């Protein structure tokens, strides 16, 4: 059965705002690929005489937390508490991440330093609000067994203290089949839900988690579907639900909003609330952070998905990686119901 909630109804909006007010009581653990997002900003007014490429006149640069670290940043910006678990390199970029996390009062006890791999850094060149090129500094091989054991030992010590575990999988080596198998068993033992931002190649790792949040490309790819019609979207959601035996699949659909598939057969299509889309970078991090906080605050899946949709609508209107503030989310909720 397909249902379409009315997110602008006053009663529903007030309920969503109340969940936001409970975020400070929620503690999450974020496990995954920690990275930096590096932006080079400038303008283009000519083509290089050396090759048919634009010449970017650089005006400034900025560096932000990315990947799992950006998920953690979103959690604290939304008022929640967070434990971050991942890997950085023994280099200047790893040091930059540590300093920024400490500035934000995000604990670094769950980070492990691996001298044999670089800290992951994505550099994007932006000219006139358009991405010109991106280049990545990374090591995508799985982390060593020693590092994996250290990560799991940290998780085992802290999991009793959290209301949910967010897995932020960017396929940079932290999330492996072994780690997920151990994590799922541990979380089930303690009754802690796992919410995953997945990668297609790792989909089999997630069997038994509560929720996954693929985008449309990931959902169709994981379901083995080549066409992308509305009918196939419905098939993809059901295939993933059954294959992973999870409680819900939330497919993010860009300008088409989101589609929530639940274990009880309910399907909820949520239209986008974004007024303008400038940059989708980090939107998935915002979605999963908001969704997990809302679930930890007691929201039903559809209300949690609505909150995540509103948060995503804010972040895609900003060029570059940016977290959503809890006050801003509540303000947007109230503005939309009064407009």
- Catalytic residue numbers read 285
Could you give the CA distance from residue 113 to residue 99 in angstroms, rounded to a whole number? 14
Could you give the CA distance from residue 252 to residue 260 in angstroms, rounded to a whole number? 9
CA 235-237-210 angle, to 5 degrees, is 155
DSSP state of 215: B
DSSP state of 264: T
- Chain-centre distance of CA 197, in angstroms? 6
For residue 258, what are its two tokens? 């989101």
User: Would you put residue 282 in left (φ > 0), alpha (ψ -120 to 50) or beta?
Assistant: left
Nearest to 4 by CA among 287, 330, 258: 258
The single residue listed with the structure tokens 């959290």 is 162
Taking CA atoms, 307 is separated from 100, 238, 270, 333, in Å, by 27, 23, 11, 9
Which phi and psi (to 5°) does residue 10 adopt? -55, -45
């Amino acid at each position: 059965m397909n249902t379409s909630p009315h997110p602008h109804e006053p009663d529903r909006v007030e309920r969503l705002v109340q969940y936001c007010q409970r975020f400070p009581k929620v503690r999450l653990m974020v496990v995954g690929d920690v990275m930096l997002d590096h932006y080079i900003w400038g303008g283009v007014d000519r083509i290089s005489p050396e090759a048919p490429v634009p010449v970017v006149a650089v005006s400034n640069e900025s560096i932000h937390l990315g990947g799992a670290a950006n998920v953690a940043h979103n959690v604290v910006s939304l008022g929640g508490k967070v434990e971050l678990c991942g890997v950085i390199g023994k280099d200047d970029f790893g040091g930059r991440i540590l300093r920024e996390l400490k500035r934000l009062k995000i604990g670094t006890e769950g980070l492990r330093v691996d001298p044999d791999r670089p800290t992951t850094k994505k550099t994007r060149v932006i000219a006139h609000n358009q991405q010109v090129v991106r280049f990545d500094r990374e090591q995508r091989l799985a982390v060593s067994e020693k590092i994996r054991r250290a990560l799991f030992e940290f998780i085992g010590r802290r999991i009793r203290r959290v209301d949910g575990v967010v897995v932020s999988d960017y396929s940079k080596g932290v999330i492996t089949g072994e780690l997920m198998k151990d994590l799922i068993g541990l979380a089930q033992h303690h009754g802690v839900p796992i919410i995953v931002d997945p990668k297609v190649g790792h989909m089999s790792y997630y069997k038994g988690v509560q929720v996954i949040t693929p985008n449309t490309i990931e959902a169709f790819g994981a379901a083995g579907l080549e066409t992308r019609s509305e009918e196939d979207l419905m098939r993809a959601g059901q295939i993933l639900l059954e294959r992973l035996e999870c409680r819900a699949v939330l497919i993010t659909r860009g300008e088409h909003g989101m589609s929530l598939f639940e274990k009880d057969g309910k399907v909820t299509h949520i239209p986008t609330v974004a007024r303008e889309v400038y940059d989708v970078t980090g939107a998935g991090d915002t979605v999963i952070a908001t969704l997990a906080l809302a679930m930890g605050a007691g929201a039903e899946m559809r209300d949690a998905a609505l909150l995540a949709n509103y948060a995503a609508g804010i972040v895609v209107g900003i060029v570059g990686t940016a977290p959503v503030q809890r006050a801003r989310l509540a303000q947007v909720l109230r503005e939309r119901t009064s407009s």
